[in-house]
Amino acid sequence: MSDSIVQVVSDIRFQSHHGPDGHPERPERLVAVGEAIDSFGHRIEVVAPRAAESEEILRAHDRRLLEAIASTSGRELGKIDADTYYSASSFEVARLAAGSCIDLATRVLCGGISSGLAAVRPPGHHAEADRAMGFCLFNNVAIATRSLQAEGGAPRILIFDWDVHHGNGTQHIFETDPDVLYISTHQFPFYPGTGNFDEAGLDRGLGSTINIPMPVGCGDEEFIGVLQRIVVPAARTFSPDVILISCGFDAHQDDPLASMEITQYGYRAMSTIMLELAKSLCGGRIVFILEGGYSLAGVREGTEAVLETLTAAAPMQAPTAIELVPGAALTGIVDRVGQVHAHRIRDFAAAL
């Protein structure tokens, strides 16, 4: 039955974008992700990527940025900013990443498959409409979202960004759009510096950006609690037609760049909560788009957790409600988000 198909976009060409030796956003990340994908064998359908057309990229980006990235084609290693680089094939690889996300999201929204994972590089969520930054050239989730809006019958789209960094680019691209709910959990203060509680959207989009900045050291309990108390009720109130996950694994306990403590159990629990939410709200339509994650063990474990959940290879019970204990980090986070958003969200912070 087509409804149970889980598609994964994976391709060796995503490893041909590379930076200077020692850069954390390195091709080996996808070797580790690929090992996890391979272990799911016939339970998933691996599909090849296709390059995004210029018109598709321009739905989220300025022509000047597209032309600047295109102009790097065939050039040797170079820098765009302090930590964002290109190599000879980066433009082509970035087009493949964006095209993969468009296709997967379109197939999930418009029929054919139930869910998917785009195992792509370079990541996307820091890329602004007019600027590549933070290892990101084009904003894959934003391009996919704009394509669904253009071709998919004006759907309501939830983007949940659980990468450990704030997705400044995604927030800014959609901050005036009431049909896209952008929710981000991220270490704060931390790169890129945006994503404080009071950044809640602009104009008609006021309330459709929910930032959940979290102090260093948060782990499974805090993240699961934030999903239960904030993300789930906000999603239910918004009622999306499809859920896109900006799926970084750099909040993993082994990540060398960040200081959070999510375990493989935590990623399974978070994936389970989001899949159950998708089933209850939008026919199970959910797409995971790889963002960051710089521990090879971390990205392997995270990918396994997502695919175990999507394929029901190792179904787990949704975790029981995390209590809001006075003085605990989770309680402080929920209180602060509530000060900004609770009046707009039914059953905010209710125990599940």
- The residues carrying an active-site annotation are 126
Q: Which two tokens stand for residue 241?
A: 């037609």
**Residue among 56, 250, 261, 308 that touches Zn ion (CB under 5 A):** 250
- 85 bridge partner residues: 79
Applying CB under 5 A, the span of 161-169, 182-190, 263-271, 277-285 interacting with Zn ion comes to 161-169
Nearer residue to Zn ion within complex by CB, 177 or 250:
250
Shortest distance (Å) from residue 57 CB to Zn ion: 22
Helices (H) and strands (E) in the chain, counts: 11, 10
Applying CB under 5 A, the span of 51-59, 62-70, 200-208, 291-299 interacting with Zn ion comes to 291-299
Q: Give the CB-nearest residue to Zn ion.
A: 292
Q: Residue with structure tokens 């974008």? A: 17
Applying CB under 5 A, the span of 73-81, 84-92, 288-296, 317-325 interacting with Zn ion comes to 288-296
Q: How far apart are the C-alpha atoms of 252 and 166, rounded to whole Å?
A: 15
Pairing of strands 115-118, 209-214: unpaired
292 near Zn ion (CB under 5 A): yes
Nearer residue to Zn ion within complex by CB, 165 or 285:
165
Nearer residue to Zn ion within complex by CB, 7 or 246:
246
163 near Zn ion (CB under 5 A): yes
201 near Zn ion (CB under 5 A): no
> What amino acid occupies position 225?
G
User: How many residues belong to the site for Zn ion (CB under 5 A)?
Assistant: 5
Taking the alpha carbons of 287, 290, 293, 296 in that order, is the dihedral positive or negative? positive
Q: Mapping DSSP to helix (H, G, I), strand (E, B) and coil, where does residue 247 land?
A: strand
177 near Zn ion (CB under 5 A): no
CB 94 within 8 A of CB 17: yes
CA angle 46, 48, 49 (to 5 degrees): 130
195 near Zn ion (CB under 5 A): no
Nearer residue to Zn ion within complex by CB, 149 or 187:
187
165 near Zn ion (CB under 5 A): yes
**Residues with Cβ within 8 Å of residue 21, at least 6 apart in sequence:** none
Nearer residue to Zn ion within complex by CB, 225 or 292:
292
241 near Zn ion (CB under 5 A): no
Choose among 232, 234, 242, 293: nearest CA to 264.
Answer: 293
Choose among 51, 49, 36, 67: nearest CA to 9.
Answer: 49
Shortest distance (Å) from residue 164 CB to Zn ion: 5
Q: Mutual orientation of helices 90-110 and 140-151 as an angle, nearest 10°? A: 40
Applying CB under 5 A, the span of 84-92, 94-102, 157-165, 324-332 interacting with Zn ion comes to 157-165
Nearer residue to Zn ion within complex by CB, 251 or 281:
251
Q: Which residues bind Zn ion (CB under 5 A)?
A: 163, 165, 248, 250, 292
